[in-house]
């Protein structure tokens, strides 16, 4: 007999009880109003007899990997990250490489694979490895409760908490986690609300609001954009995205991601290296100082050069930092400040 594990539903934050037994979830801008027994669009929060509960505090994996893989290029270079991820996402991206984890509840073929988190064990393992603690692979903002608990336990050990997120949070959601998040990499997947909605099922505006809000609260923010041929790789789109990021802060690192045909987007071709090269130029033309391509352009796509004197400051291999030449967070040659968490 095959035993199929079931989600463990734990009390959730940011639920407002309504007079008729319904509950409004105020974690993400979908703001689902749930009748008793009903689950939200993310499928990992539900109304359990008038009480909002979450299944997102049950990681399916706890993997030790490189901080450069999230990707973070301006935060603790070379550090390992113990990354935990429970099933679930507030988006339904048809190209998700992690759909077997992220699309639980939205796609009937995706099984439940999480089990109740043991925050003390996660923190102890991270402390042994002197690793940061990351929530990634699926949507970490659905696991705010676990994030807060991990942060509480990690604080005495001085272990930073990181997210790789879609940034789709309400202001209340962002404010809840901002005090405990050290850094977040947020996807900006399209140039307009309409294109973002087609790709993810959600508008873009709240994502940019989260970028601004977390930065204002002192969280280190890097941005990732996938270049999907015919959908988000047109020059006009990239120019629009780069322009919006530059308006926020020209020194915010921008990672250009190669699209891989997967899940329900199998007809498209992978992103051509030339498109990534052109996108990098567009980012620089928009004034962005740090634009990165992880693999397709080789080391020159990954390394950090000083925006003041153009000397190489950080050399990276694939998913590792090879050398860092910074003096107190600044270029040792021209003293230009290099923003990040060093």
Partner 1 sequence: MHENIFVESLPDLISAEEYADHPDGRLIRLRIDCDDDGVRILGDALRPAELEALLRELGGGPTEQMLCG
Strand order in 23-25's β-sheet? 15-17, 23-25, 33-34
At a CB cut-off of 8 Å and minimum separation 6, what does 101 contact?
A: 60, 61, 85, 87, 110, 113, 137, 138
Question: Contact with partner 1 (CB under 8 A): which of 205, 298, 329, 332?
Answer: 298
If one asks whether residue 101 binds partner 1 (CB under 8 A), the answer comes out as yes
CA distances from 19 to 35, 86, 279 (A): 11, 31, 51
Count of residues touching partner 1 (by CB under 8 A): 31
If one asks whether residue 100 binds partner 1 (CB under 8 A), the answer comes out as yes
Structure-token pair, residue 320 = 């590792």
* Alpha-carbon torsion angle 97, 101, 103, 107, nearest 10: 100
| Alpha helix segments (H runs only) across 217-256 | 235-248
Question: Contact with ligand SF4 (CB under 6 A): which of 25, 132, 186, 314?
Answer: 25
Closest by CA to 297, choosing from 311, 283, 286, is: 283
If one asks whether residue 90 binds ligand SF4 (CB under 6 A), the answer comes out as yes
Least CB distance to partner 1 at residue 163 (A): 10
If one asks whether residue 27 binds ligand SF4 (CB under 6 A), the answer comes out as yes
Structure-token pair, residue 19 = 């007079």
Question: Contact with partner 1 (CB under 8 A): which of 51, 272, 326, 336?
Answer: 272
Question: Contact with ligand SF4 (CB under 6 A): which of 32, 89, 146, 228?
Answer: 32
If one asks whether residue 53 binds ligand SF4 (CB under 6 A), the answer comes out as no
* Cβ atoms 277, 297 nearer than 8 A: yes
If one asks whether residue 291 binds ligand SF4 (CB under 6 A), the answer comes out as no
If one asks whether residue 105 binds ligand SF4 (CB under 6 A), the answer comes out as no
Residues at the contact surface with ligand SF4, assessed by CB under 6 A: 25, 27-28, 30-32, 40-42, 45, 90, 142
Residues at the contact surface with partner 1, assessed by CB under 8 A: 60-61, 63-65, 69-70, 85, 97-98, 100-101, 136-137, 164, 258, 260-263, 266, 269-270, 272-274, 295-298, 318
């Amino acid at each position: 007999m095959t035993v199929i594990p079931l989600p463990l539903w734990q009390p959730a934050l940011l639920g407002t009880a309504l007079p008729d037994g319904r509950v409004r979830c105020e974690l993400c801008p979908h703001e689902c109003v749930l009748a008793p027994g009903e689950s939200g669009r993310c499928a990992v929060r539900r109304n359990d007899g008038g009480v909002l509960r979450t299944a997102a505090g049950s990681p399916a994996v706890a993997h030790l990997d490189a901080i450069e893989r999230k990707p973070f290029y301006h935060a603790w270079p070379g550090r390992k990250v113990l990354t935990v991820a429970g099933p679930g996402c507030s988006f339904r991206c048809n190209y998700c490489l992690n759909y077997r984890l992220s699309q639980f509840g939205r796609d009937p073929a995706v099984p439940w694979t999480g089990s109740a988190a043991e925050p003390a064990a996660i923190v102890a393992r991270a402390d042994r490895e002197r690793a940061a603690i990351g929530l990634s692979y699926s949507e970490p903002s659905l696991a705010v409760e676990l994030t807060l608990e991990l942060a509480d336990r990690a604080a005495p050990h001085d272990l930073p908490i990181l997210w790789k997120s879609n940034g789709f949070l309400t202001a209340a959601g962002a404010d809840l986690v901002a005090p405990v998040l050290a850094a977040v990499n947020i996807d900006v997947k399209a140039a307009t609300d309409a294109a973002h909605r087609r790709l993810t099922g959600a508008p873009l505006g709240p994502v940019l609001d989260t970028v601004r809000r977390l930065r204002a609260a002192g969280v280190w923010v890097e941005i990732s954009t996938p270049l999907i041929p015919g959908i988000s790789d047109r020059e006009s789109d990239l120019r629009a995205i780069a322009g919006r990021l530059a308006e926020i802060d020209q020194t915010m690192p921008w990672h250009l991601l190669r699209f891989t045909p997967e899940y329900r987007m199998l007809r498209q071709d992978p992103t051509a290296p030339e498109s990534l090269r052109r996108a990098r130029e567009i980012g620089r033309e928009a004034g962005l100082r740090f634009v990165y391509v992880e693999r397709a352009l080789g080391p020159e796509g990954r390394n950090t050069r000083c925006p003041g004197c153009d000397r190489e400051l950080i050399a990276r291999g694939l998913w590792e930092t090879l050398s860092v030449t910074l003096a107190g967070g600044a270029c040792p040659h021209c003293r230009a400040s290099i923003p990040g968490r060093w």
